[in-house]
């Protein structure tokens, strides 16, 4: 049975917690973002996620890591488990569990569009699809990736030509490295926050090509990449132009909410059409929704899809 307990997913048949919200004896971690990764006694994840957790969290010292590479199955009792790419950030994985009752896929956070720094997403057929639905509302349709990248590069160049420092706010894991890659490809020197640099070093160690950041002594002619904070105020004196990289840029109020000059819809999550496309490609008989909007359930039901938002204490006989 697949259950939701303590705001977490749990597979009782194999005693495995999935992206648990607190420490467990054994937990599967889909990727290294703090809202999914915890210090379990044993963390099951990809080698890349283990490397990122080791530098981001104390789990590198207090947890044992059981790593599995993409598409190299292993067994727990009578069940066969396989990790495959989610395209969210480096090392992010979906989980396929196969047993006598069929195939069950948990997506975790994922996206279908191409990435410069994360592995290309894969889709596998399943009888039951447990899917995140962060942007499960029709207004969340992201512009083409090429357009977003061109606008980000154009914003940076215009600021530099005007003698201003373009400052991009992006999560230190994932979008910050995407910004590094796209700005570097455009020949724009970059300076990054120490938290971003620490993660970038792991990306490079895992084989991801990223441009080298310039030192703090380079005060002009560079773009800055920093994690969002309580206040997105300019990080240094002088003329700056600020931008937030987020899927929530689709909201009209985003620029004011984040206190920046511009927002760009660069997201590491699937938008609304991608969520529907994923269901169409997976062809599940049942869709369970987590990590997002429960009203997406009703939209799917109106499309004739057997969907349910997995609430706390809900339990379904999937195994």
Q: 65-106 pLDDT, tens per residue? A: 999 999 999 999 999 999 999 999 999 999 999 998 899 999
- E-assigned strands of the chain? 2-5, 8-11, 16-18, 26-28, 42-45, 64-67, 74-76, 79-85, 93-99, 102-106, 128-133, 165-169, 190-192, 223-226, 240-245, 262-264, 286-292, 307-309, 315-316
Residue 312 has pLDDT above 70, yes or no: no
Percent of the chain beyond pLDDT 90?
A: 71
Residue 127: the pLDDT is 97
Tokens 């950030």 found at: 89
Distance between CA 13 and CA 223 in Å, rounded? 50
End-to-end Cα, the chain, rounded Å: 5
Per the prediction, the chain carries an average pLDDT of: 90
* Cβ count within 10 A of residue 129: 25
Q: Note the pTM of the prediction, 2 decimals.
A: 0.92
Tell me the average pLDDT across 96-118: 95
When pLDDT is averaged across residues 244-249 and rounded to a whole number, the result is 97
Residue 175: left if φ>0, alpha if ψ -120 to 50, beta else—which one?
Answer: alpha
pLDDT (0 to 100) of residue 295: 86
Name the β-bridge partners of 85.
93
pLDDT at 217 over 80: no
Q: Which two tokens stand for residue 131?
A: 């899917």
Alpha-carbon span 202 to 189, nearest angstrom: 20
- Summarised one tens digit per residue, pLDDT across range 265-281 is 999 999 999 999 999 99
220: three-class secondary structure by DSSP:
coil
Position 244 pLDDT exceeds 60: yes
Nearest 5 degrees, angle CA 208-CA 94-CA 266?
A: 55
Please, which pLDDT band fits residue 60 given cuts at 50, 70 and 90?
very low
Residue 117 burial by Cβ neighbours in a 10 Å radius (0-12, 13-18, 19+): buried
Alpha helices by DSSP H, the chain? 47-56, 59-62, 145-161, 175-185, 194-205, 254-258, 272-282, 295-302
For the beta sheet containing 190-192, the strands, ordered from the edge strand earlier in sequence to the opposite edge, are: 190-192, 223-226, 165-169, 240-245, 262-264
Q: Which domains does the chain have, with CATH numbers?
A: 2-139+269-316 (3.60.15.10), 145-264 (3.40.50)
Q: How far is CA 26 from CA 134, 167, 210, 311, in A?
A: 26, 40, 33, 22
Task: For residue 141, count other CB atoms closer than 10 A to its CB.
Answer: 13
Weakest-pLDDT range from 20-29, 52-61, 65-74, 151-160:
52-61
Distance CA 248, CA 270 (A): 12
Give residue 292's pLDDT: 79
Long-range contacts of 53-58 (CB under 8 A, 24+ apart): 53/29, 55/198, 55/199, 55/201, 55/202, 56/32, 56/173, 56/198, 56/199, 57/32
Tokens, residue 102: 């069929």
Given this model, what pLDDT does residue 238 score?
A: 73
Q: Band the pLDDT of 313: cuts 50, 70, 90.
A: very low
Question: Would the pLDDT of 314 be above 80?
Answer: no
Q: Given pLDDT bands bounded at 50, 70 and 90, which one contains residue 59?
A: very low
Task: Identify the DSSP state of 19.
Answer: S
pLDDT at 311: 64
């Amino acid at each position: 049975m697949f259950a939701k307990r303590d705001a977490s997913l749990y597979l009782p048949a194999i005693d495995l917690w999935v992206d648990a919200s607190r420490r467990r004896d054994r937990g599967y971690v889909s990727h290294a973002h703090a809202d999914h990764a915890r210090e379990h006694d044993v963390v099951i994840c990809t080698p890349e996620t283990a490397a990122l957790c080791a530098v981001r969290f104390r789990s590198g010292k207090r947890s044992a890591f059981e790593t599995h590479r993409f598409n190299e199955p292993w067994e727990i009792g009578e069940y066969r488990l396989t990790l495959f790419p989610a395209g969210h950030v480096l090392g992010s994985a979906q989980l396929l569990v196969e047993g006598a009752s069929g195939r069950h896929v948990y997506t975790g956070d994922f996206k279908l569009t191409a990435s410069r720094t994360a592995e290309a997403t894969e889709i596998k057929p399943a009888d039951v699809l447990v899917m995140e639905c962060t942007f499960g509302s029709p207004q969340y349709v992201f512009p083409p990736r090429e357009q977003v990248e061109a606008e980000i590069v154009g914003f940076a160049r215009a600021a530099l030509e005007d003698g201003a420092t373009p400052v991009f706010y992006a999560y230190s894991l994932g979008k910050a490295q995407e910004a590094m890659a796209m700005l570097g490809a455009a020949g724009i020197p970059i300076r990054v926050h120490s938290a971003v640099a620490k993660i970038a070093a792991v990306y490079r160690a895992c084989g991801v090509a990223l441009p080298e950041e310039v030192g703090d002594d380079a005060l002009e002619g560079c773009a800055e990449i920093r994690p969002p904070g309580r206040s997105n105020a300019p990080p240094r004196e002088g003329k700056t132009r600020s931008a937030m990289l987020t899927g929530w840029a689709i909201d009209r109020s985003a620029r004011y909410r984040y206190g920046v000059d511009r927002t760009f819809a660069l997201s590491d999550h699937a938008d609304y059409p991608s969520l529907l496309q994923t269901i169409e490609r997976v062809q599940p008989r049942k869709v369970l929704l987590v990590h997002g909007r429960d009203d997406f359930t009703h939209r799917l039901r109106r499309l004739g899809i057997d969907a349910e938002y997995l609430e706390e204490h809900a339990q379904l006989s999937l195994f």
